[in-house]
Amino acid sequence: AQKVTQAQTEISVVEKEDVTLDCVYETRDTTYYLFWYKQPPSGELVFLIRRNSFDEQNEISGRYSWNFQKSTSSFNFTITASQVVDSAVYFCALIGDNAGKSTFGDGTTLTVKP
Amino acid sequence: DTGVSQNPRHKITKRGQNVTFRCDPISEHNRLYWYRQTLGQGPEFLTYFQNEAQLEKSRLLSDRFSAERPKGSFSTLEIQRTEQGDSAMYLCASSFGIGYTFGSGTRLTVV
């Protein structure tokens, strides 16, 4: 069985602060993919980043960066210099090697105050 | 092509009524997924199709739920004899390979 845990239910920061969202996963698959999605108040889930299990290289894309560590089964996501428009619910998700269903965490609600 | 389209956006129904939702995926995507999301939770997998074949169904998909994808194009999700516990956001997503594009969802309220 697969499981994704987002221990942080809610985070509140002031604009321009950096914020890291934590994600811990469990899977028995040797090949898997990890994702972060953003769900703004409008409700539509928006894809942000993807990483496969064979690529632990951490990258930066604009204000987003991620830290994937297989040794600790963690896939953390950082927003640098947060903005009010970053306020949303953020979901971490896992797809196993059957490339079918995703398992989602319960989300972290990020509030960025001006 | 403007993405994954779901209709209706909102549906209010009385308990015991049947409801049907429609999802139009991105045209070149061969996989289509249905998820359900309740308040404060992440999306929960219901079922998915590869072309017209339904490859996997969750245990969440009781006998009252049925999904179809005729000719591998649009999909419908029907809930029969709705219950208050069916109130949720029903999300559709499509993909070609790894990674989804989600629609805006259909919010169902059973009163």
Cβ A44 vs Cβ B102: under 8 Å: yes
- Please determine, for residue A4, whether its predicted confidence score (pLDDT) is greater than 90: yes
pLDDT tens digits along A97-114: 776 789 999 999 999 999
- Please determine, for residue B1, whether its predicted confidence score (pLDDT) is greater than 60: no
CA-based nearest residue to A26, from A53, A47, A4, A58? A4
- Please determine, for residue B10, whether its predicted confidence score (pLDDT) is greater than 80: yes
Q: What is the mean pLDDT of residues A78-96?
A: 96
pLDDT at B59: 85
Q: What is the mean pLDDT of residues A43-62?
A: 83
Strands B10-13 and B106-110: parallel
Per residue, the 3-state secondary structure of B39-51, as one string, reads CCCCCEEEEEEEC
Helix (H, G, I), strand (E, B) or coil at B70: helix
Q: How far is A45 from chain B (nearest CA, A)?
A: 6
Q: What is the mean pLDDT of residues B9-35?
A: 96
Helix (H, G, I), strand (E, B) or coil at B110: strand
Cα distance between the two ends of chain B: 35
Per-residue pLDDT band for B62 (boundaries 50, 70, 90) equals confident
Residue from B23, B26, B31, B45 to probe the interface with A (highest A Cβ count within 10 Å): B45
Q: How far is B83 from chain A (nearest CA, A)?
A: 23
Q: Does A35 touch chain B (CB under 8 A)?
A: yes
d(CA B15, CA B7): 20
Per residue, the 3-state secondary structure of A20-82, as one string, reads EECCEEECCCCCCEEEEEEECCCCCCEEEEEEECCCCCCCEECCEEEEEEHHHCEEEEEECCC
The partner residue sitting opposite B98, judged by closest CB among A33, A42, A104, is: A33
Strands A19-21 and A24-26: unpaired
Mean per-residue pLDDT of chain A: 92
pLDDT tens digits along B63-101: 999 999 988 899 999 999 999 999 999 999 999 887 889
